[in-house]
A and B are shown apart, each in its own frame.
Chain A
């Protein structure tokens, strides 16, 4: 199947076949990580620009390694020390970067829709590496890869996403992608952290943790940001952690083969207790490893699609 999409902005744009293709491609990329010399020439001569307007260690590093293992030239531009500090608009910065002919621009931005703005104006491929509370599609894809690896399949599973769904791009991307793959999704959290009309996303909504996780095959804990207290959405971290934290005691009530996931960075002792995060059910570090493979797959597919579009004379 030839990859058709110019950009990867949202998992909503992907159908089940496309998601499966990314996961299959990622699986084949995983083998590279086990080699002595972790390098294949797939993207030799291609340029990947990581344009990060928001602090990120994991995602930026993951994209960087992915590009390098595929032999692309990877350039990192972060908002500190770049032209954004001089008051240049996102669009101007992007157009300047495009003038240097990159093949893929990977963008992380605090504003929802910023990658869509770039995609509308840039000829090169744009990958959304997280935009505001909108989407983080490669995170959802790496989560699906991890689940598929551990469970052997996706269809028919029950996944419960717990915490600050309202502000979570990870939750949104996962909800769309998981539903497309036949997974039943439940979201759980205090009503102040569940967005308006959330059910219309096709998920079940629960305001009781025990009930929400009892039958889950996978529990995904979301990071709770400190500023949610300041904006009056929760009273204290202490209370949040008592009511919504995943502890060993709560885990004991779950399915014996449950998987515990977290997109990171983990607030140990807040949304998840250290024993659970580091325990046998946790696949948090598998998620990180799979992140590189999924990003290799995404860069490979998008840069490849660009080459094909280019030969078709569309530029």
Chain B
């Protein structure tokens, strides 16, 4: 396979560069060479007819659990990156909560080596903030940054010790890597399996109040202000947290945020099904929270969409609700459900969605990509806005099937994923 490719007659949409027109994209040696109408490619260059399709900068998921090493029965780097490619993602950032934890250079090296050999999209590891995610001692962040970690996070757990978290933020300053917060006060969230509200009252499930997230987002903003660090709020889910992030940014605090498709499309009402695939942390929130998230996605308070792809085997999930594992897969459904449920009804415009999936995450973590400008790496996601779909978990490339969107139907989704000029799907 050559890394030369001519993408013909697609609607080229690169919102960051103000490009939105039907033209060709010429890729040579794995990089964008030129945009323009009726481009001539060097002899022997493969061509793709993208007429009627939308050609976008490659989508990047800044929040993926690839589960390897340690939980290969849930997902592997091979299966997870194939799921990413199928879902239109050209790069994923994988979280540190593997076994062993990615809290040292050896694990980072292992992930990157595996990804080079077995992965089909780019893989950027995220290192742990604290050793073994224990929240007690800093991980060796300098070496990890050197090895290629693009951010640091104890995702899945909240670093409750504010003093330690402050030091982590300070220590990471020279690396230019953000600290990603799983903002959830573990005392306020103790024992909870869903959002606290009327639905939790009816179901008799322990709920965690929105305040569990709000309190920690408030703390993390204050610490970002104190240290000058860049703090990124993972899977923001409450109206209160959105409001605080918006206010802090207006003050010039370096705080960013991501939102997941499930928090943008579902509320705690979904838990009434008792389907454990509606269980995740943070939990599905109320209607007003969803409205606030959508608003924040449109106005840029939410910088990017992230899937929080969290594969679990049936045996981890198909249990009493309170005992079921937290998390849902998302790589293979994110783009399709957002196109159909937000863009198609006019709740979000397509350029904004594309920005939040490409340029937004690339800028957030200073990653290559997120652009179709000449010279940029040729990571491209091509969308077909008309293709009808039904979410069928049995057809997932992921090793896991735990989606809350099973059986959903709609139209529009990824059509081709190109990494470094090479088509990795279909």
Chain A residues engaging chain B, CB cutoff 8 angstroms: 12, 89-91, 109, 111-114, 116-117, 120, 131-135, 167, 169, 172, 195-198, 200-201
Contact = CB atoms under 8 A, between A and B. Distances in A.
B110 interface: no
Contacts of A201: 198, 201-202
B322 interface: yes
A204 to B, nearest CB: 15
B286 to A, nearest CB: 10
How many interface residues does chain B have, given as a range?
20 to 34
Interface in B185-224: 196-198, 200-207, 209
Contact of A111 (B196, B207, B318, B323): B323
Contacts of A117: 274, 318-321
Given A90-B319, A113-B274, 7 more contacts: A12-B202, A89-B319, A112-B203, A112-B321, A169-B204, A200-B198, A200-B201
Given A112-B321, A132-B204, A196 B274 contact: no
Contacts of A91: 318-319
Contacts of B209: 196
B319 A132 contact: no
A134 to B, nearest CB: 3
Q: Which of A112, A198, A201 has the most CB of B within 10 A?
A: A112
18 contacts: A89-B319, A109-B320, A111-B322, A112-B320, A113-B321, A114-B320, A117-B274, A117-B318, A117-B319, A132-B204, A132-B322, A134-B205, A169-B204, A172-B204, A195-B200, A196-B196, A196-B207, A201-B198
A197 B196 CA distance: 9
A286 B321 CA distance: 35
A261 to B, nearest CB: 20
Contact of B201 (A114, A135, A198): A198
B319 A172 contact: no
B197 A196 contact: yes
A294 to B, nearest CB: 21
B275 to A, nearest CB: 9
B205 A132 contact: yes
Interface string B306-324: 0000000001001111110
A134 B320 contact: no
B321 A197 contact: no
A109 B322 CA distance: 12
B204 to A, nearest CB: 3
B322 A195 contact: no
Interface in B234-273: none
Contacts of B206: 133
Contacts of A12: 202
Contacts of A198: 201
A61 B205 CA distance: 27
Contact of A196 (B198, B320, B321, B323): B198
A133 B206 CA distance: 9
Contacts of A131: 204
A195 B209 CA distance: 12
Interface in B312-370: 315, 318-323
A89 B315 contact: yes
Nearest to A197: B198
A12 B203 CA distance: 11
Which of A89, A135, A196, A200 has the most CB atoms of chain B within a 10 A radius of its CB? Answer: A196
Contacts of A112: 203-205, 320-322
B203 A196 contact: no
Contacts of B201: 195-198, 200-201
Contacts of B207: 196
B181 to A, nearest CB: 25
Nearest to A198: B201
The 6 lowest CB-CB distance pairs between A and B, nearest first, are A133-B204, A134-B204, A111-B320, A197-B198, A195-B201, A113-B274
Interface in B363-392: none
A198 B274 CA distance: 20
A198 B204 CA distance: 12
A120 B315 CA distance: 16
Contacts of B202: 12, 172, 201
A184 to B, nearest CB: 19
A197 B315 CA distance: 34
A195 B202 CA distance: 9
B191 to A, nearest CB: 9
Given A91-B318, A132-B322, A113 B197 contact: no
Contacts of A172: 202, 204
A189 to B, nearest CB: 14
A113 B204 CA distance: 9
A252 B204 CA distance: 34
Nearest to B276: A117
Contact of A113 (B196, B198, B205, B318): B205
A89 B315 CA distance: 9
Contacts of B318: 89, 91, 117
Nearest to A120: B274
Contacts of B196: 196
Given A90-B319, A90-B320, A109-B320, A197 B205 contact: no
B337 to A, nearest CB: 24
A39 to B, nearest CB: 36
A135 B203 CA distance: 8
Contacts of B203: 112-113, 134
Contacts of B204: 112, 131-135, 167, 169, 172
A112 B193 CA distance: 10
**Which of A12, A111, A133: most chain B Cβ within 10 A?**
A111
A113 to B, nearest CB: 4
B226 to A, nearest CB: 30
